[in-house]
Amino acid sequence: MFRLADADRERIRGGSFFGLSLLIVAAIMSHGHESGCVKAEMLAINDDDHQHARLVKYYRRMGFEKVLEVGNNGLSDLPHLLVWGGAGTRMNCNPQQFLRRWASLLKKSNKGSQ
């Protein structure tokens, strides 16, 4: 049976609370920033109250800010429900601020992979 060494396991996880998801979001934010995007929007879907609370907390720690609760506002939510496909918490983040906030951790994890 093949097993990873502890150092390799840590590198794959990203060495932080966010793991691989931080790297994926950083790539998306970098592309957005290079394309002139000044606001990233997302929806923390509310399929289950407990999981929704965890998602909102996770994304807030990552740098997103709450904008709007989608799904309990009657017809005024219809455009949001059509765009996002469900109820939840709309959140925004500035790509440049995101990259600035996480640059040192991303650089550190890159050094560990070389």
- 41: CB partners within 8 A, 6+ apart: 67, 90, 91, 92
**Per-residue pLDDT tens over the stretch 14-67:** 455 677 888 899 999 999 999 999 999 999 999 999 999 999 999 999 999 999
Q: What is the C-alpha separation between 28 and 34, in angstroms, rounded?
A: 10
Q: Calculate Rg over the CA atoms of the chain.
A: 17
pLDDT of residue 72: 87
Are the C-beta atoms of 49 and 98 separated by less than 8 Å?
Answer: no
| Beta-carbon-side half-sphere exposure of residue 113 (alpha carbons within 13 Å) | 13
CA 97, 17, 54: angle at the middle one, nearest 5? 85
pTM here is: 0.76
Please report the pLDDT score of residue 19 as a whole number: 76
Whole-number percent of the chain with pLDDT over 90: 65
Which residue has better confidence, 72 or 43?
43
**φ, ψ dihedrals at 111, nearest 5°:** -65, -35
Average pLDDT, the chain: 85
The better pLDDT of the pair 12, 46 is held by: 46
For residues 11 and 65, the model is more confident at: 65
